[in-house]
Amino acid sequence: LLSGLKPWARRWAVPSVVLNLILSILLLIVTIALSAKKPEPCLADPTCPDGWVRHLEKCYYFSQAEGNWTYSQSHCSALGASLAAIDTQHEM
C-alpha cells in the first residue's frame, strides 16, 4: 500500500493517519458532550406588581381591607392571586 509513495511521503503516511484518527475521535467526543449537555433553563427575573412585596421567589400583597375568608379569597382571585400559604418554615 505504501510502496508506491515517495520516501518522504511514506515516512509521514502513518503519523498523519494516526493524527487524523485522533482528531476525529476528539471531535466526536466534543460533539457528543456538547449535545448531551442540557441547556440551563432561562429564568426571567419575575417582578412583582407595584405595591406588592417579593420574598423568596413569591409576591405578597398586604391588604388593609377587612373582611371574612370568603371576601378575602374572592378579592385575591380578582387580582389573579390567592390567599397566602406558608409552605415551609424557611418562608416565615
Query: Does a structural domain hold residue 47?
Result: no
Of all residues in the chain, the percent with pLDDT exceeding 70 is 85
| Residue 65: all three cell numbers together | 381591607
Q: How many domains does the chain have?
A: 2
70 close to 52: Cβ distance less than 8 angstroms: no
Q: Do 31 and 64 belong to one domain? A: no
Give residue 61's domain range. 53-91
**Prediction pTM value:** 0.41
Query: Does a structural domain hold residue 46?
Result: no
Least confidently predicted of 4-13, 21-30, 37-46, 49-58: 37-46
Per residue in 53-81, pLDDT (tens digit) is: 888 888 888 888 888 888 888 888 888 88
Q: Which pLDDT does position 45 carry in this prediction?
A: 62
Mention every residue, 6+ apart, whose C-beta is less than 8 A from residue 4: none
Q: Do 57 and 26 belong to one domain? A: no
